[in-house]
Amino acid sequence: MTEREIRGLAASPGVGVGRVLLLEPADADTAPHRGAAAESEAAVAALGAVADELGARAERLRADGFGAEAEILEANALMALDPMLRAEVERLAAGETASSALRSATQRHADLLAALDDPMLAARATDVRELGRRAARRLSHDGVHPTADGPSVLVADDIGPADVADLRESDQQIVAIALAGGAATSHAAIMARSLGLPMVVGAGSMLLDAAPGARAVVDGDAGCAYLDPTPEREDWGRARMAALVRRRRRHARERALPAVTLDGRWVTLLANAATTVEVRSAIEMEAEGIGLLRTELAFLEARSWPTEEEHVAALEPLLSLLPGQVATVRVLDFGDDKTPPFLSGIDARGLALLLDHEDALAAQLRAILRAAGGASLRILLPLAESADQLRLVRRLVRQAASDTGWTSTLPPLGAMIETPLAVRRAQEIALEADFMSIGTNDLVQYTLGLDRSQPLATARSAAHPRVLQLIAETVVAAHEAGLTIEICGEAASEPELAVLFVGLGVDELSAAPARLDELRTTVRRISAEDAAGAAAAALSGERRDEQREVLGGLDGVVA
C-alpha cells in the first residue's frame, strides 16, 4: 500500500515503529434501565472503584520515582470523588443507565473545561472524559486496551494519563502513541514524555482509518505519523530508535565530567523543577543546582492567594534536598495558561500581577526565606519589565528578611527577561538586578506570536534570528553590568539551540533534568569560538555546512 503521511503536533520526542493497535470508542450502552436507585448506586460505585484504582497506580508510580506523574493520577482520583460530579451522575441515573449517566456527566464537565480560554485548563477536559470512560468500562467489564502482539503503536482519538500509565504496567509492547485529538499540553502528553513514549497528537480523524495490525512509524520529534510506511521509512525508524538508545547510554557515561567546552569555557548546567521527584532527578543527573524552581504549579487549583504557611509547606520538601546548592526560586508566575480559579478573567501576568497584590508577594517572600534551609538561595522575578519593579521587590525582600529574622546576606534577586519590551530595557534592569535569566517560552511567543500549546515547536523557534537577536542583546546588557545570565526556557533543553546560546555568551543553561546528560555531552564536544561562529550565522539567517561540523554530529541548526 502507499505510504500515508499524517501530520499532527509533537507531544513527546522520539521515534517508534510497530503495528497499529487501535483503541476504538466503547459501544453505546444497550442495557435496560434498572431503576433510578440501582443505576445511581452502580454509577457511584464505579466512580469510587476508579478513584481507588488511580490511587493505587499513583502509589506504584511514586515508589518507582515518578512523583510528578503520581500527582497527576492522584488529582484525577480526587476528581472521581468530586461531590458535584457524583450529584450530577445520580441525577442523570434517574433516566439513564449507570454507564450512560457516567459518560453524560463527565462529558458535560469536560465541555465546560474545554470552553475555557486557557490551553492548560482546557487540556484537562480529556482527564474528565477519561474518568467517565474508565468508570463505564468497569460496569461492562471491558479491558482498558486491546491486546498487542509485538511492538505496537497505540492509535486512538484521545486518551488520558491513566491510560498511559496502564501501558507502563501492562505487558504491552507499546513503542509510541498517535492521537487524532489531544493536546501537547495534556497530562497524557506529560506522562508520555516522562515515561519515554514518543507521542503525536492532533493528527485528525484520518488517523482513525488505520487498519488494526497495519505498519506504522511515529516521529514524535516532527509531530508526524506514517501509516503503511515504505521499507526505507521503517528502516529509518528502527535505526533512529536504536541510535537514541545508544545516545542515552553514551551521555550517561559522561555524567560525572564537567561541562567545559574544548577551548576551556565552563558552562553551568542547572535544572528546571517543580516537584521533589524533579529535584532528586536533577541531583542524580549531576546538575549544579536548580535554575528555575516553579512555585505556581502547586497552586493552580487554589481558591485564593496562597498563605505564607502554604508556601512554606510547598517549598520546604524541595529546598531541603539542596544543601549548599543553587536554588533559584521563581515567585508565583500566575496568568495566561497558569491561571487559578480565583484569578479567572485577569489580564495582568507575572510580576505586574504580584505587585498589584503586594501582601500576597510579601507572604511568599517570607516563606521563601523561612524554607531556604542550607540551600544557596536566589529569587527570580517572572516577566520583569522595569528597574522600578525590581526596586519595589527589593524593598519587600528587605522587609521579609526583617520579619523572619534572616541574618545572612540577602539572596540575589534576578530578573526574568521574557518580552521584547524587557529586552529594550535590559540595560537599566541589569543595573538593579543581581543576575538575569531569559525565559525563551514567552520570549518566542511575544516575539513571533506562536501558540504555547505546541511546546516543542515553540522551543525550537528560539533559533529564529529575531529571537536570537533579543537574546544576544540581553546577554550583552547582563555582562556589561557584571551579571551572570542563564537561559531557563524549554529551548535550553535542545542541544542544537544550546550551542547557539553558548555562542552568544550565556553562562548558565537550566533544562529539564532528563536532558542534562545530552547537554553536557554537547557542551564538551564544541569550542566556544566555533559556537560563536554558528550563532553569528544563525543571527544573520544563514544556513552553512560548517554549522553541522560545529555541532559535532548533531542534527544542525535551522534558523
The H-or-E segment that residue 358 falls in is helix 358-371
Of the candidates 454, 465, 526, the one whose C-alpha atom is nearest the C-alpha of residue 495 is: 526
Phi and psi, residue 90, nearest 5°: -65, -40
Residue pair 21/212 in contact by the 8 Å Cβ criterion: yes
Read off the C-alpha cell for 527.
569550542
Sheet containing strand 15-23, edge to edge, reads 4-7, 224-227, 215-219, 15-23, 152-156, 174-179, 199-201, 9-12
Read off the C-alpha cell for 88.
450530577
CA distance 176 to 155: 9
Residue 334 CA neighbour count, 13 Å, CB half: 27
Catalytic pick among 224, 311, 464, 488: 488
Residue pair 316/357 in contact by the 8 Å Cβ criterion: no
Residue pair 330/437 in contact by the 8 Å Cβ criterion: no
Residue pair 415/383 in contact by the 8 Å Cβ criterion: no
259: how many CB neighbours lie within 10 A of its CB? Answer: 22
Question: Is 224 considered catalytic here?
Answer: no
What sign does the dihedral 93-99-102-103 (CA atoms) show?
A: negative
Question: Is 488 considered catalytic here?
Answer: yes
CA distance 298 to 381: 17
Residue pair 527/499 in contact by the 8 Å Cβ criterion: no
Read off the C-alpha cell for 539.
543571527
Contacts of 221 (CB under 8 A, 6+ apart): 10, 13, 14, 15, 198, 456
Phi and psi, residue 17, nearest 5°: -125, 125
For cell 468530586, what's the residue? 82
Distance, C-alpha 54 to centroid of its chain: 21
| DSSP code, position 343 | G
Phi and psi, residue 394, nearest 5°: -60, -35
What DSSP assignment string belongs to 105-161? HHHHHHHHHHTSS-HHHHHTHHHHHHHHHHHHHHHHT--SSPPP-SSEEEEES---H
CA distance 524 to 362: 42
Quick one: CA torsion of 378, 382, 383, 385, rounded to 10 degrees?
Answer: -40
Catalytic pick among 109, 145, 187, 464: 187
Task: Name residue 387's amino acid.
Answer: A
Measured CA angle at 215 (ends 213, 220), to 5 deg: 120
Of the candidates 506, 468, 470, the one whose C-alpha atom is nearest the C-alpha of residue 485 is: 506
CA distance 7 to 222: 8
CA distance 309 to 292: 21
CA distance 160 to 174: 15
Query: Catalytic amino acids?
Result: 187, 488
